[in-house]
Amino acid sequence: MTEPTICPRTHDYMPGCVQALATVHAADRYPVNWPADPAGWLTPSGMLGAWVAVEGSAVLGHLVLARPGETLADAAGLPSERLVSVARFFVSVAARRHGVATRLLDKAIDIAAADGLRPVLQVEAGATAAIRLYERAGWRYVGTSADDWMTADGRVAQMRSYVAPSLPRTTEPDDAVMR
């Protein structure tokens, strides 16, 4: 696998995003319940922007930056207007263990830094591979809270909250979320 390109998600990428999400759902039950409108699910309210990792025409991964909820801001200990939330983040099964997730997370940090924002995210406590990825990448665990949905094995979802490492990076202004 060559190094993927990270670029803004356009409408042309949406079929590949849905296909990649289907592989993740089949392997990991993410999302727990397959959405009736997967493209709509990949475009949540409060979305500031979305990026994909691609190799040729194949979508390898996806990430959304959105406005964080107050629960996540409270866990981070920062005002929500100083934060941006990583959401709808996944890497297709075939592209795992090739650095795609790390590259997408680095892009999120760069984009947020360009606007003086700090990325935060939540992950269900049972997603141990994702938790290992975030912790290896230097994301700081800040707490756990119960959510309002059930996991695939019937538990109330326990969401672990993380704050991105410090923001030493910068990006070109046209990559910024808020501009």
- The reply to whether 48 falls in a domain is yes
One digit per residue, pLDDT tens: the chain, 179 residues? 688 999 999 999 999 999 999 999 999 999 999 999 999 999 999 999 999 999 998 999 999 999 999 989 999 999 999 999 999 999 999 999 999 999 999 999 999 999 999 999 999 999 999 999 999 999 999 999 999 999 988 999 999 999 999 755 444 444 444 43
- The reply to whether 47 falls in a domain is yes
- The reply to whether 27 falls in a domain is yes
Domain with 31, as residue range(s), is: 5-165
- The reply to whether 66 falls in a domain is yes
Can you give the pTM of this predicted structure?
0.89
Residues 6+ apart with CB under 8 A from 155: 126
Is residue 107 helix, strand or coil?
helix
- The reply to whether 177 falls in a domain is no
- The reply to whether 76 falls in a domain is yes
The number of domains in the chain is 1
Residues 6+ apart with CB under 8 A from 143: 75, 160, 161
Tokens of 175: 């990559």
- The reply to whether 176 falls in a domain is no
What is the CATH number for 155? 3.40.630.30
Residue 138 CA neighbour count, 13 Å, CB half: 9
- The reply to whether 172 falls in a domain is no
